[in-house]
């Protein structure tokens, strides 16, 4: 395994994950402060399990949430 570190603002090493974190920060967390690591973990897990996978539309998935897109192609 070779670690890859690019310059700040250069997302090309892992564009998919960089885009996910951008969505998480801008759509969900914003200026919110968490009281503990556990509260943050639960909130972010809820974002992924509910909003991101079932309600948020994704342009790369024909403007469907990931779960609906995945079930529509099989």
Task: Give the residue extent of every domain in the chain.
Answer: 35-74
**pTM (predicted TM-score):** 0.69
Q: Is the pLDDT of residue 10 over 90?
A: no
Structure confidence at residue 69 (pLDDT)? 93
Tens digits of residue pLDDT in 36-50: 999 999 999 999 999
Q: Is the pLDDT of residue 20 over 70?
A: yes
Query: Are 11 and 19 spatial neighbours (Cβ–Cβ below 8 Å)?
Result: yes
Taking residues 17-39, report their average pLDDT: 92
């Amino acid at each position: 395994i070779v670690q890859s570190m690019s310059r700040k603002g250069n997302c090309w090493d892992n564009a998919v994950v960089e885009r996910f974190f951008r969505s998480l920060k801008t759509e969900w967390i914003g200026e919110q402060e968490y009281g503990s690591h556990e509260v943050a973990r639960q909130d972010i897990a809820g974002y992924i399990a509910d909003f991101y996978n079932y309600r948020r539309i994704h342009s790369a998935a024909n403007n469907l949430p990931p779960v609906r897109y995945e079930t529509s192609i099989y």
